[in-house]
Amino acid sequence: MNIEYVPTICPYCSCGCGIDLVVKDGKIIGQEARKEHPVNQGANCPKGKNAYEFLYSKDRLKMPLVRKNGKFKETSWDEALDLISSKLKEASPENFGFIASCRNSNEDAYVMQKFARVVMGTNNVEYCGRLCHSPAAAALIPAMGSGAMQTSQPEIELADCIFLAGVNIMETFPLIARRVFRAKAKGAKVIYTDPRKTATAKHLADIHLQLRSGTDAALINAMMSIIVAEGLEDKEFIASRTAGIDELRSFLSKIDLKQAEEITGVPLEKIREAAITYAKAERGCILYDQGMSQHYVGTDNVRNHANLALLCGHAGKPGSGINSMRGQINGEGSGDMGCLCVFYPGFKRVGEETAKFFEEAWGVNNLPTKPGLTYIDMLYKCPYLYVVGGDPAMAVPDVNNVKKALEKVSFLVVQDIFPTEIAKLAHVVLPAATWVEREATHTWIDRRVQKINKVVDPPGEAKPDWWIICQLAEKMGYKDKFDFSSSGEIFEEIRNCVPQYKGITYERLSHMIGGIHWPCPSEDHPGTPTMFLQKFNTPDGLGHFQAVEFKPPAELPDDEYPYVLTTGRSIFHYHTGSMTRRTPRLNDEVRRGFVEVNPEDASKARIKSKDMVTLETRRGNIEVEAKVTDEVPPGLLFVPFHFAESRANVLTISALDPSAKCAETKVCAARMKLKR
Ligand code: SF4
For a mutational test of ligand 1's pocket, the pick from 40, 103, 452, 571, i.e. the residue with the most ligand atoms closer than 8 A to its C-beta, is: 40
Give the integer Cα–Cα distance in Å for 264 and 6: 50
DSSP 636-665: EEEEES--GGG-GGGTS---B-TTT--B--
**Residues 213-272: tens digit of each pLDDT:** 999 999 999 999 999 999 999 999 999 999 999 999 999 999 999 999 999 999 999 999
pLDDT at residue number 206: 98
pLDDT at position 1 over 70: no
Q: Is the pLDDT of residue 386 over 90?
A: yes
Least confident of 182-196, 484-498, 662-676: 662-676
State the amino acid at position 294 in one-letter form.
Answer: Q
Please tell me if the CB atom of residue 44 comes closer than 6 angstroms to any atom of ligand 1. Answer: yes
Q: What are phi and psi of 595, to 5 degrees?
A: -125, 130
Q: Is the CB of 12 under 6 A from ligand 1?
A: yes
Pocket lining: 445 vs ligand 1, CB cutoff 6 Å: no
- Measure the CA–CA gap between 426 and 411, rounded to whole angstroms: 7
Alpha carbon nearest to ligand 1 atom 6, residue: 48
Comparing CA positions, the residue from 145, 146, 198, 184 lying closest to residue 285 is: 184
pTM: predicted TM-score of the whole model, two decimal places: 0.95
How would residue 502 be classed by pLDDT, with cut points 50, 70 and 90?
very high
Contact status, residue 346 vs residue 59, Cβ threshold 8 Å: no
Ligand 1 pocket residue status of 47, Cβ below 6 Å: yes
Ligand 1 pocket member 11 (CB < 6 A): no
Q: Nearest CA to 487 among 527, 546, 437?
A: 437
d(CA 334, CA 390): 12
Q: CB 658: neighbour CB atoms within 10 A?
A: 11
User: 13 CB less than 6 Å from ligand 1?
Assistant: yes
Rounded to the nearest angstrom, the distance between the alpha carbon of 569 and the centre of ligand 1 is 14
3-state helix, strand, coil in the chain (%, to 5): 35, 20, 45
The atom of ligand 1 lying closest to the CA of 174 is 5
Condensed to tens digits (0 to 9), the pLDDT of residues 141-153 reads 999 999 999 999 9
Q: Confirm or reject: Cβ of 40 under 6 Å from ligand 1.
A: yes
- Cβ pair 121, 88 in contact under 8 A: no
Mutating to test ligand 1, I would choose from 8, 17, 153, 330 the residue with most ligand atoms within 8 A of its C-beta, which is 17
**Residue whose CA is closest, atom 2 of ligand 1?**
13
Distance 265 CA to ligand 1 centre (A): 34
8 A C-beta contact, residue 16 and residue 444: yes
Cα separation, 216 vs 308, whole angstroms: 12
**Contact in structure between 300 and 140 (CB atoms under 8 Å):** no
Closest to 98 measured CA to CA, from 385, 335, 334, 372: 385
Q: What value does the mean pLDDT take over residues 656-663? A: 90
Coil vs helix vs strand at 15: coil
CA atoms within 13 A on the CB side of 96: 22
487-497 and 106-114 helices, crossing angle to 10°: 70
Sign (positive/negative) of CA torsion 141, 146, 152, 155?
negative
**CA distances in angstroms from 405 to 13, 383, 401, 408, 412, listed in the order given:** 30, 9, 6, 5, 12
Q: For the segment 287-305, what is each residue's pLDDT rounded down to a tens digit?
A: 999 899 999 999 999 999 9
Average pLDDT, the chain: 95
Question: How far, in Å, is the centroid of ligand 1 from the Cα of 435?
Answer: 14
Read off the pLDDT of residues 535-582 as tens digits, 9 standing for 90 and up. Answer: 999 999 999 999 999 999 999 999 999 999 999 888 888 888 888 888
| Residue in 50, 54, 173 to alter for ligand 1 test, most ligand atoms within 8 A of Cβ | 173
At residue 640, what are phi and psi to the nearest 5 degrees? -75, 155
Query: 455 near 613, Cβ under 8 Å?
Result: no
- Residue 204 Cβ contacting ligand 1 at under 6 Å: no
10 lines ligand 1 (CB under 6 A): yes
